[in-house]
Structure 1
Amino acid sequence: MKTKLTESPLEMSTFNEVQIHYERPIFNTNRVVKCSEDSERILREFLDNKRIDYKEFFWVLLLTNANQVLGISEIGIGSSTGVAVNVKEIYQLALLSNASAIVVAHNHPSGKLMPSTADKNLTQKLKEAFKLLDITLLDHLILTSEGFVSFSDSGWM
Structure 2
Amino acid sequence: MNQTILPQGELLSCNEIQLHYKRQLFETMPHLNDVKEVEKYLRDMIDLKRIDLVEFFWVLYLTNSNRLIAMAEIGVGSSTQVGVSVKTIFQKALLVNAIGIIVAHNHPSGNLQASDADISITKKISQAAKFLDMVLIDHIIITSEGFMSFAKEGLL
Output the TM-score relative to the length of structure 2.
0.92
Identity %: 50
Q: Quick check: 1:89 aligned with 2:92? A: no
**Runs of 4 or more consecutive aligned structure 1 residues displaced over 2 Å after TM superposition:** 13-16
Instruction: State the distance in 1 between where 2:149 and 2:87 align.
Output: 23
Q: Which has the larger radius of gyration?
A: 1
Q: Which is helix-richer, 1 or 2?
A: 1
| Matching residue of 1:48 | 47
What's the C-alpha RMSD, in Å, of the aligned pairs? 1.2
Instruction: List per-residue Cα deviations over 1:105-148 (Å, max 9, x = no partner).
Output: 00000000001001001111111111011101000000001110
Alignment size in residue pairs: 149
| Matching residue of 1:29 | 28
**Per-residue deviation, 1:14:** 5.0
Q: Secondary structure at the match of 1:38?
A: helix
| Matching residue of 2:4 | none
Matches within 5 A, 1:131-146: 131-146=130-145
**Per-residue deviation, 1:21:** 2.0
**Structure 1: which 5+ residue stretches go unaligned?**
1-5
Instruction: State the distance in 1 between where 2:62 and 2:145 align.
Output: 26
Matches within 5 A, 1:70-149: 70-149=69-148
Q: Which is strand-richer, 1 or 2?
A: 2
Q: Secondary structure at the match of 1:44?
A: helix
Q: Secondary structure at the match of 1:99?
A: coil
